[in-house]
Amino acid sequence: MSNLVLLVGAIILAAFCFASLGTVFSALPTDKPSNVMMISNLVRLPLIFISGVFIPINQLPYWGKLIAPLSPVTYVTDVMRYLLNQSHYFTVEYNFFMLLVFSILLFSLSIYFHKKTLLKRI
């Protein structure tokens, strides 16, 4: 598989994950969009710091290595490190598998929460 296909695939799956995560938060029944944005940022921003963007996963402290797999950004970052011939933590196949799992999970959650809260938002 070419490097461009790997990169584009990883970015598309990660974007879908974060769009689905935003959709999950938008299902919250509230009159103030700022509440949704605050909660969304409180979840999304820390995910960047534990995902290996700034510090490679294998250089993170022990607790960081335990938390890093909870973020879809971790897997995109790992693919990018692989493509740049740097040290990567997971295999490319595992990264794509986890991005797919996160995509399906977050998309399913967004559908569930929107159906659950639809009557409260109308």
Confidence (pLDDT) at 85: 82
Domain boundaries, the chain: 3-121
Q: Residue 60 has what DSSP assignment?
A: S
Centroid of chain to Cα 69: 10
pLDDT at 80: 87
Measured CA to CA, the distance from residue 24 to residue 102 in angstroms comes to 13
pTM exceeding the 0.85 threshold for the entire prediction: no
Q: pLDDT truncated to tens, each residue of the chain (122 aa)?
A: 688 888 888 888 888 887 887 777 777 666 676 666 667 666 666 777 777 778 888 888 888 888 888 888 888 888 888 888 877 889 989 999 999 999 999 889 888 888 887 776 56
Collapsing DSSP states into helix, strand and coil, what is residue 50? coil
Distance between CA atoms of 37 and 26, rounded to whole angstroms? Answer: 8
